[in-house]
Structure formats: structure tokens, C-alpha cells
Structure 1
Amino acid sequence: MINSSVDKLTRSTNFLRFLGQHALIAQEESPSTAGEEEIEDQKYHFVSLMLNLVNTFLYMVNTYIIVPTADDYSVSLGAASTVCGVVIGSMAVAQVFSSVYFSAWSNKSYFKPLVFSSIVLFLGNVCYAMAYDTKSLTVLIVGRLLCGLGSARAVNRRYISDCVPARIRMQASAGFVSASALGMACGPALAGLLQWRFKIYMVTFSQSTLPGWLMAVAWLLYLVWLCISFKEPNRATEADDTPHNRASGKTKCGYWAS
């Protein structure tokens, strides 16, 4: 309590706090009591937190891995090179809508939204990769829209806010920001390595389609890991914690907008 008061008076900000605030994830202002810490510990599961951070990383990779090749991909389908802006931006537009229903869904479950997100992202990447062989720009854009509709970043933030104990919430928030930044950096780098071209039966693998196939495999593996290892938090303990959240001026609906 003394350290917290000194910190407020001096307005000092360490690196982890800066990253946590950048993630727009609420942080406890007052120290938790022993009972509240026990409730938080019952909801916390380290592997589930890691799965949320991996989901964040993969989604950001998925967003930026097509940037180096979207231009050539659009031209190969008979569209103007400027259409690549629509291909890249359609995912972000669809994410606006996914934030609404995923945040509402997370009121009841964290596991089911993550499973749904993984399936939709898998299908979206398959559509993106298959657009070359179907010679359809529509399939390409639909694939990217599906990827945007599978964005579970609202669930990832909500899980950290609700299920991670206050004593490590700032570190988890920093991990969320770091996973996002790492994904943004790895996406174009991976695209630069996928410079092969070959064909298996009627399916073409090239620098334009390989990002879609790679991410489809990544989401499929993630889905298997999710189904095996994710632990759904105890909603009974979360309900018990609601009066504390109200007293501190926080409600569940306050997290979805971020």
C-alpha cells in the first residue's frame, strides 16, 4: 500500500505498466483482500492465458502476412493492383463487427468463442488460398472477411481483465501487447520466406497462396491445442466477484469496447 501510494504521488511509470496501459486493460487501483485473491487464483489458469496470448500472436501474423504479396495476388486474379488495399483492409472492417458479438459471448464462455474463432479463421485462410485456383476475387475477399469475423481479441483482453490475478495482470497485459507487436513483425517476415511454387493435384502453392495455407495449418494446430488444454474459468467465482467490480466502478460491458 505504501509503495502504491508513493507510485501515485510520483506518477512513476515502469515499462510493464506502460505496455499494460497500451493494451487498454483495466488495472486494480487498490490492493486486493485475501478473499479476493483466492477467488482470482481459482479462475486463473496459466496454460489458458498462454492460449489467449498465442491467439493474439497468430491473429496479428494472419493480418500482416499477406501484405507483401496481396498486390501480386490481386493482379493474378485480373484485378487492379489497388484492389490489394481492399483485400488487406477488409479484415480490419470485419473485426469491428466481431468485437461486438465476441464480447457479448464472453459473458457466458471463453472457450467456445476461441473455438469458433479458430474454425472461422481456418476456413477464411483456406478460402484465401483457394482463390487462386478458382480464379475468383470474390473468394479472396470473402476469405479475408471471414478472417476478420474470427478476431477474438476482445475475448483475449476480457480473459486477462477477468481471470488473471491482479498481482500479475500488468505482466499479462504487457504480454498481450508484446504478442501483438511480435505478430505484426513476424507476418511480413514469414511471407518473405515463402518463395516456393509447386502444384499438388489441382492445388497451387505459391508465394501468394502459401501464406493462406500456412495460417490454415497454424489455426488447425492451435484448435487442437485449445481443445486439449484450455480450462474454462469457474463462472460461480466470477459471479461472486461482481460486487467488488461494481464497487470499483467496473462492469463487464466496460471491456468489450476495447
Structure 2
Amino acid sequence: ERMAPWKSLWLANYLVFLLVLNVEIVVPTADQYAQTLGAGETFSGLVIALTPFFQGLVGIPLNYWMLRSGISLKTILIVMVACCILGNILYALAGLMRSKFAILAARTIIGVCQCQLGGPIYIAKAVGVKKRTKALFIFSTFATLAFTAAPLLAALLETFVKELRIENLVLDSDTIPGWFMAFLYYLFLLKLVFFFENPKDDVQSAKHDTADSQESLWNRGFLVCIFAAFASAMTNTMAIVFFVKLAEKTWGWSVSLTAFALAGFMAVVSLLSLISSRLVKLLEDRKGLQLSACLGAACSLITFPFSRDWPTAAITVMFIGLLLVNSCACVVKNYAYALAPKIVAPCFKDRAGAVNMISLMLGRGAGAQLGAILTSISFATSQLCTYLFLFFLSWMFAAHLKQHAKAT
């Protein structure tokens, strides 16, 4: 029944908001920025994908190693946030340097230094098992809110720059997201120093470490959670990047119109994700995972295009289909967050959170790259097959998705 101090818990939620915002705020302008520097569509997808890829491959293992080395979570967060400030400044200065490699280096630094592991680890340590699912649903809702805020802020920043006729090598519509994120991280760093408290050691969990060390982390249920995290992040990011490409390249929408539409799109997804956090007591976690995967497969059928000419009706149906698929993806991600530390022995709780987060980041990276290159048919097919396979796995191995007897 333990609960974290509210200031620290809200800072953990705010952190994931900033981390996802940092990844997604460049989506509406990445293609335009790439063209300005003489690069193409594949490069813009790479700019978006690099951050979650390096976060999964380097950043999360690095943060996990730092935690295991005895460095406090607060110290890690301070160092990582400071490095994110530097990475965003480098991204903003890439236009001045006229360097494609500066953009890639900046997004790599941001990826390595985004401590997304901090939130789930903090909640797993500071919140009791009975309240953890709801806490993680709210945590995930903040990530979804960032998907809403990112395109909205991108559109507002572009409008701000153009209205003031600011177009120079240091500040323009392509570079202002970097300056803006550096400023937000600086404000967050100040709050982190003064208000964040490190979680207390879980004494009850420590007592079980010796006995539970004989068990294996890599059981079938945990592998299903890993795939659920990867699949939800991949389909979510793929849908967002695909929508931006479709709107700007096929439908002829402007960057501002696309961004505002995407903001409204994700606002509805955020609301549905928040509502789902209120319903967790009515449904067992594994059954919730099965139901959301089944609904994801059903909703993906709506994304198959029924016309090549894209009349208003076809655009509307596609928009609704993407909205529903993204909503299902967010709920699947919530259950993957909640289940992973619950179904393993207490001594593996931190490691389970780290591995689950790595799969989530790799899914985002894969989704960003796939969303930039897939056609309408292949996009819809990939969504359908992913959720059908996830439903099959969650049904086949349902017995392995039960809460561990010693979960804390």
C-alpha cells in the first residue's frame, strides 16, 4: 500500500512527458530540416529513429549499470538532463553549421542521455504493488500527452517564428524545437534539484533476493511483456510518422495543419488512455492485455484504404482508424508497463523494468523508420499482423502472466 511522495512522483511523470516530447516535437519539421540540408526522406526518418534506438541500445543499459553501481537515481537524472540540454543546443546549431552529421550527433546524444528508465524504476521502488498498475497507467498517460503536445507546440513554434519573420541560420522553424526543448529541460533541472527525493530501499524485496535468485527472469510471461512493449511502441510511432507523411505528401496538407490535426488526434488518444487508468480495477492485467490486443487487430482493419484518390470520406475513415489503433497501442503499452515488474521475482524487478524499457525504445525506433517508408497497404497489414500475433501470445501463455507470489 506504500505510495511515493507526490512531488517526486509528479516529477517522474513530467520527465517522461519531456522525454517523449523531445522525440516527437521534431516529427513535423524533420523532413523540411533534412531537405534544407540536402538530405532526403530516409534521412528524416533516421533523425526521428536515432533517439529511441540509442536510448534502447546504450542509454537504458547505461542507466541500469549506474543504478547497480550505487549511484543515486537523483544524481543520474541530473547528469542525464544536463546532457539533454547540450544535445538540444547542438540540434539547434546544426542549421548554422549546415551539417547533417551535427543533427545525427545531437539526436544520438539526446537518445543516450534520456533517462526514461528513471520513471518506471522509481514507481516500482516507491509505489506498492496494489497501486502500481494505476500509477503506471498515469505515467503512460503523460507520455501520451506528450504525443499530443509535440505537434501542437511544433505548429505554434513555427507560427511564432514566421509571424515575427525570424528566419536566420541560428533561429528558424527547423531549429526552434531544439532551443525550446533545451529551455524546458533547464527549468526541469531546477525542479529536480530542489524537489526530487530518492526512493527508499525496498527492504521486503531485499529479504527475498537470495531465495528468488534461483528463478529465471526470462520466463514465457516476461517474454510476452517484452513483445507487447515493442509492438505497442512500434505501432504507435509508426502510425504517427505515417500519418504525417500521408498528410503532407499525399493529401497536400501544410506543416501547421498536419501538426494541429495530429495534436487533436493524440488529445483524444490521451483522454482514452486516462479513462482506461480508471478501469484497471475492473479487469485483470493479463485479460486487459488480451482484450486490448484483440481490439487493436480489429481497429487496424479500418486503416486499409478503400480508394486510391483519397476523397474526404477515405481521409476521415483513415483518420478514425489511426485514432483507434493508437488508442489500443497506448493501452497495450500500459499493461506491458504494469505486468513486467509484477510477474517476475522481486530481485529481478529493476532488471525487468530496464529490459522492458529497452524493447519499448527499440519499438519506437523501428516504428519511426517503418512509418517513413511503408505504403498504405503495407502499413495496415503490419498493424493487423502485429496485434493478431500479440493476442495469440497473450492467450497461449496466459498462465505465465500471473502476478508473482512474492511481488512487492
- Asked if these proteins are the same fold (TM beyond 0.5), I'd say yes
Equivalence map 1:12-23=2 (5 Å)? none
Partner of 2:216: none
1:141-181 deviations in Å (ceiling 9; x for gaps): 11111111122121211111111133432221111110111
Structure 1 residue 217 displacement after superposition: 0.2
Structure 1 residue 249 displacement after superposition: 2.1
- Equivalent of residue 34 in structure 2, options 51, 74, 97: 74
- Equivalent of residue 250 in structure 1, options 346, 352, 359: 346
Q: What SS is found at the alignment partner of 2:170?
A: strand
Is contact 2:13-2:139 (8 Å) kept?
yes
Structure 1 residue 254 displacement after superposition: 2.7
Matched, 1:188 2:154: no
Distance (Å, rounded) in 2 between the aligned partners of 1:77 and 1:112 = 37
Distance (Å, rounded) in 1 between the aligned partners of 2:353 and 2:53 = 20
Distance (Å, rounded) in 2 between the aligned partners of 1:89 and 1:102 = 20
- Equivalent of residue 175 in structure 1, options 135, 138, 158: 138
Distance (Å, rounded) in 1 between the aligned partners of 2:195 and 2:30 = 35
Unpaired segments ≥5 residues, structure 2: 213-343, 357-408
Partner of 1:228: 194
Equivalences, count: 215
Structure 1 residue 239 displacement after superposition: 4.3
Which piece of structure 1 moves more, 246-255 or 53-62?
A: 246-255
Structure with larger RCO (C-alpha < 8 A, sep 6+): 1
Partner of 2:6: 46
Distance (Å, rounded) in 2 between the aligned partners of 1:255 and 1:86 = 26
> Partner letter of residue 212 of structure 1?
G
1:102-123 deviations in Å (ceiling 9; x for gaps): 1232343210121122112111
Structure 1 residue 234 displacement after superposition: 3.2
Is contact 1:160-1:169 (8 Å) kept?
yes
Structure 1 residue 199 displacement after superposition: 5.4
Is contact 2:125-2:200 (8 Å) kept?
no
Equivalence map 1:1-258=2 (5 Å)? 40=2, 44-96=4-56, 97-107=58-68, 108=70, 109-195=72-158, 196-197=161-162, 204-235=170-201, 238-239=202-203, 241-244=205-208, 249-251=345-347, 252-258=350-356
Per the normalisation by structure 1, the TM-score is 0.77
Distance (Å, rounded) in 2 between the aligned partners of 1:160 and 1:211 = 30
Comparing both structures, which one devotes a greater share of its residues to helix? 2
Per the normalisation by structure 2, the TM-score is 0.50
Which piece of structure 1 moves more, 181-190 or 238-247?
A: 238-247
Is contact 1:128-1:212 (8 Å) kept?
yes
Q: 1:49 to 1:106 in 2, by over 3 A?
A: farther
Q: What SS is found at the alignment partner of 1:207?
A: coil
Percentage identity across aligned positions?
27
Is contact 1:48-1:229 (8 Å) kept?
yes
RMSD: 2.1
> Partner letter of residue 50 of structure 1?
W
> Partner letter of residue 144 of structure 1?
R
> Partner letter of residue 160 of structure 1?
I
Is contact 1:120-1:149 (8 Å) kept?
no
> Partner letter of residue 124 of structure 2?
S
Which piece of structure 1 moves more, 202-211 or 212-221?
A: 202-211
